[in-house]
Amino acid sequence: MTESDLKVAVVTGGGSGIGEAIAHRLCDDGMAIGVLDLDEAAAQRVAAGLRDAGHDAIGVHVDVSDRAAVEAGFGTVRAELGPVSVLVNNAGRDGFRRFVNITEDEWNAIIAVNLTGTFHCTQVGISDMIEAGWGRVINISSSSAQGGQEFMAHYVSSKAGMIGLTKSLAKELGQDGITVNTVPPGFIDTPMLRRSEAKGLLGGSVEDHEERTPVRRVGTGADIANAVAFLASEASGYITGQIIGVNGGRNT
């Protein structure tokens, strides 16, 4: 497959924040995009904006933790845009609770979206890649899984699971021409981060963290999208099973 054949990318959680930035960047690189999101209005808004800019894009309401919904969503993308060759598992939810107080329901809810959702989307999404003998899977984990994070044991465990899944699938799918990598973001200015700020969970404002970040600024969705675009490209074909941290030097 050549670069010009890289046709259809699915971005889960593409209706907001990092996913929205990734959807825009991959469109700029010539791909058609399926924007999958739990928030249907957000998925439709992002897809409409991309179409207004002259790109091919559709918005699809999908809860990634629901296998039937994932299968239906990928079916819609395949019918409207074609076989999927790039998958960005970005949909995620966070949680903050002292470990001793995390309930089984809270634990399961986070694992269901972040880890099991990645399992569902990857298992459903890679069939086209296997058939084509070419594909890219990029998992958006979290820098918190590299260093640990108090009061986020459920979230961090789910994101660490995504790293293990990435490494295992890289070994299993390399022979099919599919690379699997993970980008763990660190402190990216998105609605998720601003919600944490509003709840007083950041130990100050988002901007207060500029001084605590080696590059002296807070990250943007575009910072993550730049790394994802490279990992989705032909040029990254010898890179698989890797953790490509994008965090301004906050984790090394």
Q: Which stretch binds ligand NAP (CB under 6 A): 62-70, 122-130, 209-217, 233-241?
A: 62-70
Contact 31, 8 (CB under 8 A): yes
CB-count burial class (<10 Å; 0-12, 13-18, 19+) for 203: exposed
CA distance 123 to 20: 23
Examine residue 179 and tell whether it contacts ligand NAP (CB under 6 A): no
Angle between helices 17-28 and 221-231 (to 10 degrees): 50
Among 39, 80, 106, 210, binds ligand NAP (CB under 6 A): 39
* 232-238 long-range Cβ contacts below 8 angstroms, 24+ apart: 232/6, 232/9, 232/26, 232/29, 232/31, 232/86, 232/88, 232/136, 232/138, 233/3, 233/6, 233/29, 234/1, 234/2, 234/3, 234/6, 236/136, 236/179, 236/181, 237/179
9-38: which residues touch ligand NAP (CB under 6 A)? 12-13, 15-19, 37-38
Examine residue 145 and tell whether it contacts ligand NAP (CB under 6 A): no
- We find the least distance from the C-beta atom of residue 62 to ligand NAP, in angstroms, to be 6
Among 9, 10, 26, 63, binds ligand NAP (CB under 6 A): 63
Paired tokens of 65: 């933790």
Q: Of 135, 155, 179, 225, which is the active-site residue?
A: 155
| CB closer to ligand NAP out of 190 and 236 | 190
Q: How many residues bind ligand NAP (CB under 6 A)?
A: 32
| Residues 71-90: x where in contact with ligand NAP by CB under 6 A, - otherwise, as a string | -------------------x
Examine residue 228 and tell whether it contacts ligand NAP (CB under 6 A): no
Examine residue 210 and tell whether it contacts ligand NAP (CB under 6 A): no
Examine residue 62 and tell whether it contacts ligand NAP (CB under 6 A): yes
Paired tokens of 12: 């889960």
Strands 8-12 and 86-89, bridge-based pairing: parallel
Known active-site residue 155 = yes
Paired tokens of 188: 């990216």
Contact 210, 217 (CB under 8 A): yes
Among 182, 190, 236, 240, binds ligand NAP (CB under 6 A): 190
Residue ranges that bind ligand NAP, judged by CB under 6 A:
12-13, 15-19, 37-39, 42, 62-65, 90-94, 113, 117, 140, 142-143, 185, 187-188, 190-193
